[in-house]
Chain A
Amino acid sequence: MASVSVLDELKKAQILELLEQGKRVDGRALDEARELTIETNAIPKANGSARVRLGDTEVICGVKIQPDRPFPDTGDRGIFMCTAELLPLSHPTVETGPPQPPVIELARVTDRGIRESHMIDVSKLVILKDKSVVGVFADNVVVDQDGNLFDACSYAATAALLVAKTPKWDWVDEKPTLVEGEETPLPIETIPVSVTMGKIGNHIVVDPNGDEWASMDARVTITSDSNGNICALQKGGSDGFTQDEINQCGEISVKVGAKIREKLKAAQSGSQ
């Protein structure tokens, strides 16, 4: 079997034809994302978790928080790491084995979107400077695929971090020791939201579904924070964007991002 799904030509032609009329196959507007459902604390034993459905794309993120050694040059800051994995049950073309470049890109883009926004104030995650800090790990697993894994992973990780509770550790007898019964939310500074746009012909579509993803010539993922500032960006695909298109994408990402931020906030308060 080919390692890339072949989109049938009829579907591709149909997508382009509808776009020429300003329409999409599933009836959405060009700047409209699919239905987003966020279930927080889907994995109760993790420190935080969320199960996100964006259309038929589904991602689960589990946050684990545990003591760790700091990086050598940043002894006054905790550790944050975000990963992403495509589970083989998510699509027939996923192979087991070491991650391929597209998955590595997915993981790093998701990580950067959250890290560069300074969502978590890692300076507040220190147990003993230079010796012991709190490590926050957000691990995304893609469970079902229908296009736009970038945004689904971003929303799952962000939602999981928003509801995560971190335990408290004291430095006792030369090691970090858990203090029972003292759990607090993570120090959250902002809520980053990524918005991915695909370019099909001369049209920009927000949140491409599986068929649109296979038809698009290029894509861009833009992350904005609660102040409406853009903090991370990744362009992908084998074609290019004009300057106008890139500017347009920047504006769309902030506008659409604001709406999605409201959903993330609602999920956060819904779980309290």
Chain B
Amino acid sequence: MGGRDATMVLLDENGIRCDGRKVDETRRIMIRAGGLKNADGSAYIEFGDNKILVGVFGPRDVHPKHMSNTDTGILRVRYHMEPFSVGERKNPAPSRREIEISKVIKEALEPAVMLEKFPRTAVDVFIEVLQADGGTRCAALTAASVALADAGIPMRDMVAAVAAGKVADTVILDVNNEEDQAGQADMPIGYMPSLDKITLLQLDGVLTPEEYKKCVDVGVKGCKIVYELQKKALNDKYFGNGGD
């Protein structure tokens, strides 16, 4: 993550960001529950120019058997980017970045999923990034949560995610690609709205103690906005024609 890029204006004198947004505005978000025929649950998200598809299988048998747990089901997450999802064509083999993000997302979902009722099984979450534009892990986590609910995996709460950040000494919500490259800080946050718990948190950049608190606050508020769209996606699929 570099320092300030002198050629790009990330925040103008009217408080407008490089893509026309205000400091507390998210990009356009669209979430759809379901869509895949073979997966047990699925979801598709467009978060700005990010396009991410998630498929869930499970609970199902674990192979090899020695990986299964006799007391509880296990959660497995694979975050993967297609070769055509980024500027320069990416090798299909998993990179260290993808492996780390897979782990971070898994640990963001584990507090939510309840797998004690399914010993000796696994729930597999497959995240495929079709097009990337900054904040893929937050978009992926958001969609994964919807896909898990779509599959009927018991969960204590949904997990919604968005990144807060800092450009031009100002705390912003939902960091896009340019802001991530040229800005001053990027803080992805994953949050469970009913239980009021943060389950994903990372930081890149330098924040004063006040900015740190402000970022977390802005991020949590942003997650609540994202949560409403998760709710809408599930409502549209399951409660389509309104109330009973």
B78 within 8 A of A: yes
Does any Cβ of A come within 8 Å of B211's Cβ?
A: no
Chain A CB within 8 A of B63 CB = yes
Q: A43-B130, A45-B131 are known contacts. Are A88 and B37 too (CB-CB below 8 A)?
A: no
Q: A43-B131, A89-B53, A144-B37 are known contacts. Are A139 and B61 too (CB-CB below 8 A)?
A: no
Q: Is A27's CB within 8 Å of the partner chain B?
A: no
Instruction: Tell yes or no: A85 within 8 A of B by CB.
Output: yes
Shortest CB–CB separation between residue A237 and chain B, in angstroms?
22
A62 touching B85, Cβ below 8 Å: yes
Given contacts A1-B63, A43-B51, contact A85 B92 (CB under 8 A): yes
Stretch of A29-37, A90-98, A199-207, A264-272 with 4 or more beta carbons under 8 angstroms from chain B: A90-98
Q: Is the CB of A89 within 8 A of B92?
A: no
B99 to chain A, nearest CB (A): 12
Interface: A158 (CB within 8 A): no
Most chain A beta-carbon neighbours within 10 Å: one of B36, B53, B63: B36
Cβ 8 A contact of B84, one of A64, A89, A92, A96: A64
By a CB distance below 8 angstroms, the chain A residues around B88 are: 64, 66
Q: A89 is contacted by which of B39, B61, B133 (Cβ under 8 Å)?
A: B39
For window 124-138 of B, CB contacts with A under 8 Å fall at 124, 126, 128, 130-131, 133
Check if B193 is an interface residue, CB within 8 A of chain A.
no
Check: B83 CB closer than 8 A to any chain A CB.
Answer: yes
Query: A residues 120-149 with Cβ under 8 Å of B?
Result: 137, 139, 141, 143-146
Instruction: Return the CB mask of B35-50 against A: 1 if under 8 Å, else 0.
Output: 0111110100000010
Is B60's beta carbon under 8 Å from chain A? Answer: yes
B54 adjacent to chain A (CB < 8 Å) = yes
Cβ–Cβ contact B82 & A62, under 8 A: yes
Are B84 and A56 neighbours in the complex by a CB distance under 8 Å? Answer: no
Indicate if the CB atoms of B83 and A137 lie closer than 8 Å.
yes
Interface check B57, CB cutoff 8 A: yes
With a cutoff of 8 Å between Cβ atoms, the chain B residues found around residue A56 in the complex are 37
Q: How far is the CA of A137 from the CA of B82 in the complex (A)?
A: 12
How many chain B residues have a CB neighbour from A under 8 Å? 32
Complex CA–CA separation, A62 to B92 (angstroms): 13
A96 CB → nearest B CB, Å: 6
| B97 contacts chain A at the CB level, 8 A cutoff | no
Chain A residues in 8 Å Cβ range of B85: 43, 62
Are A144 and B36 interface neighbours, CB within 8 A?
yes
Asked whether B55 is an interface residue with its Cβ less than 8 Å from the other chain, the reply is: yes
Q: Once the chains bind, are B36 and A143 in contact (CB under 8 Å)?
A: yes
- Report Cα–Cα, A144/B89, bound state, in Å: 23
Is A49 within 8 A of B36, CB to CB? no
Interface residues of A in 38-55 (CB under 8 A from B): 42-46, 49
Let me know if A139 and B82 touch, CB within 8 A.
yes
Q: Which residue of A lies closest to B94 (CB)?
A: A96
Tell me how far the C-beta of A79 lies from the nearest C-beta in chain B, rounded to whole angstroms: 12
Q: Which residues of A contact B128 (CB under 8 A)?
A: 87, 89, 141, 143
B residues with a Cβ closer than 8 A to A are 36-40, 42, 49, 51, 53-57, 60-61, 63, 78, 80, 82-85, 87-89, 92, 124, 126, 128, 130-131, 133
Q: Closest 9 interchain pairs by CB?
A: A62-B84, A89-B55, A64-B89, A89-B126, A139-B83, A46-B84, A88-B126, A91-B38, A56-B37
Residue contacts A-B, CB under 8 angstroms, 5 given: A62-B82, A62-B84, A64-B89, A87-B55, A144-B38
